Amino acid sequence: MRTSFMTIAALVGASALTVCAQSSQPQQQPPAPGTTDTTQRTAVAPDQQVITIRGCLNQEKDVPGLEPNPLERVGITEDYVLTMVKMASNSQVSGIGLASKYEVEGLSEAELSKHTGHEVELTGRITQPGTTDTDPTPDFHATALKMVAATCPAAK
């Protein structure tokens, strides 16, 4: 009798936990017409925002002031850098500061090499360099690349 009481109590407790875990969060309703939304919006850090930037795609060795790593020097791999960076006109995000150049990550070397010397738009996120990263150029983790022009505009 005692065993069946403990079994029933355990099943009731497990059922209660399951119901609590499945309950959904209340959804926010949009403000009624003619009223203003007074809820605070939390700012998203620049490294969490998906943005579209435009610039000139170059191999790192061709960018003045940057030094290729040992693997690049012997031709095993190449890093690519977007220079003359500006926010693309179709970007959904504005008002964040941009660096003048970014090391491009996230796309294949083969894809990037096809667009060396081209003006391109990259969509993705700015990522902060790691604490052991000695490269001063910030990284841009790209998820998409679009060629804008077959040549880069002249540097100003």
Average pLDDT, the chain: 73
Distance from C-alpha of 56 to C-alpha of 155, rounded to nearest angstrom:
10
C-beta of residue 139 within 8 angstroms of C-beta of residue 127: yes
Q: What is the pLDDT of residues 113-128, one digit of tens each?
A: 999 999 999 999 998 7
- Cα 96 to Cα 47, 61, 82, distances in angstroms: 10, 28, 17
Instruction: Label residue 106 by pLDDT band (50, 70, 90).
Output: very high
The answer to whether the Cα torsion of 30, 35, 36, 37 is positive or negative is negative
Cβ partners under 8 Å of residue 48, min gap 6: 125
pTM score: 0.63
Note the pLDDT tens digit of each residue in 10-30: 555 544 444 444 444 444 444
* CATH 1.20.5 describes domain 46-149: no
| Domain residue ranges of the chain, discontinuous segments joined by + | 46-149
3-class secondary-structure state, position 120: strand
50 vs 36, higher pLDDT: 50
> Which pLDDT band holds residue 96 (cuts at 50, 70, 90)?
confident
Of residues 87 and 28, more confidence is placed in: 87
For residue 73, what pLDDT band results from cuts at 50, 70 and 90?
Answer: low
Q: Comparing C-alpha atoms, which of 47, 74, 64, 66 is closest to residue 135?
A: 66
Q: Which residues contact 113 (CB under 8 A, 6 or more apart)?
A: 78, 80
List the structure tokens of 86: 């500006």
